[in-house]
Amino acid sequence: MPELPEVETIRQDLSKLIIGKTVTDITTNTPKMVKPSVEAVKKAVKGKKIVGMERRAKLLIFQLQTPPPALLREALRAGSSKLPTYLLFHLKLTGRLLFRDKKDPADDWQRVVISLSKGKELRFCDLRKFGWMKLVTSGQWLVISGEMGVEPFDKEFTVEYLGQIFSKTSRPVKIVLMDQKKIAGIGNIYANEALFLARVDPRRPAKKLRNKEVEKLRNSVLNVLKAGIKYHGASDQYYLDALGQKGKYQEHFLLYGRDGKKCFECGGEIKRMKLGGRGAFYCPNCQN
DNA sequence: TGATATGTTATCTT
DNA sequence: CAAGATAACATATC
């Protein structure tokens, strides 16, 4: 669902639309999705300009306007790490961030509405209410970011790094790929697809992978993530981009959701199993 | 009708 | 103790 490529797609589209706009209000019918509290977020964000937008793992990060110099100096005296400057969004399983005109008809599962200048609004919709938005100080953000694994597109994501991670555990390699504390942003769809491309069985204990396989898997991870971004994400069920459009990567799945169908590579039947409580797809003939 | 799906975290179990 | 496994969260769909 929203994994790295989906969140990156939203970031790319949304940054063009809302950077420079001012937040005029925040309303919600689901207060538990707004942290630390609706009141705190409203107080800190209302009237502020959105000055930047980033992505880290599956998180979308809104950078808010810092106070004018005089106020900033005062705030710094009080302790700069206390300055709330970032608004984080996690879409979890079924979240959507839709950019709409306030006159547009309501969307499905609309939970939080962030009103913006010029009659626009951002609607945080989420069927299951697992998603959340969170106001954090720059200090808190550093801690949160520091606890997350390496970004696949960062230069630290080397074969050596991946081999190092894998060598320390005998958990199934698919579980390790999806471990956000080790590698950031890979979820069920891209883990399955990457393992198929690398011809590695998802159940293989991570430490048993040969160097060549680690190298192949690293390339496969990068390739499927890039393809996901290129096709504006995968709309398997719920995902929509910031403009309410479906992604197209699901039309290019080699494996995911294709159990019982023929493997494009060998013509054999694709199987499905449970691994760590999640669906794992694999071709018994191609992956080992 | 009830099992199922996905991401993360809290909690239980080796 | 720490790593790993599993339950819980909420809800539409098959």
Which neighbouring-strand residues pair with A21?
none
The 10s digit of each residue's pLDDT in A243-268 is: 999 999 999 999 999 999 999 999 99
Given a cut of 80, whether residue A222 has pLDDT beyond it is yes
**Pair of tokens at residue A267:** 């013509």
Strand C nucleotides within 7 Å of a protein CB: 3-12
Q: Give the per-residue pLDDT at A277.
A: 86
Which nucleotides in chain B lie less than 7 Å from some protein C-beta? 4-9
Residues 6+ apart with CB under 8 A from A49: A20, A21, A22, A23, A64, A65
d(CA A214, CA A219): 9
CA-to-CA distance for A140 and A258, rounded, in angstroms? 41
Q: Catalytic site residue A168?
A: no
CA–CA gap between residue A64 and residue A50 (Å, rounded):
5
A2 part of the active site: yes
More confident residue, A84 or A98: A98
Give A209 CA → B2 C1' in Å: 40
Per-residue pLDDT band for A237 (boundaries 50, 70, 90) equals confident
**One-letter amino acid for residue A37 of the chain:** S
Count Cα atoms within 13 angstroms, Cβ side, for A3: 30
A58, A174, A182, A218: the catalytic one is A58
Residue A278 is which amino acid?
R
Q: Is A58 a catalytic residue?
A: yes
The answer, yes or no, to whether residue A81 has pLDDT greater than 60, is no
Protein CA at A257 to nucleotide C1' at B3, angstroms: 17
Respond yes or no: is residue A77 known to be catalytic. Answer: no
Show Cβ contacts of residue A91 under 8 Å, excluding neighbours closer than 6 positions.
A1, A2, A6, A7, A58, A60, A97, A126, A131
pLDDT one-digit tens code per residue, A116-157: 999 999 999 999 999 999 999 998 999 899 999 999 999 999
Whether nucleic acid strand C comes within 7 Å of the CB of A267, the answer is: no
For position A10, what pLDDT does the model report?
A: 96
Spell out which residues of A between 168 and 187 contact strand C, using CB within 7 Å. 169-171, 175
Chain A span 110-129 residues with beta carbon within 7 Å of strand C: 127-129
Query: Could you tell me which residues are beta bridge partners of residue A62?
Result: A53, A87
Q: Percent of chain A at pLDDT above 70?
A: 94
Q: How many Å from the CA of A164 to C1' of B13? A: 27
Judge whether residue A77 has pLDDT over 80: no
Q: How far is the CA of A70 from the C1' of B3 (A)?
A: 59
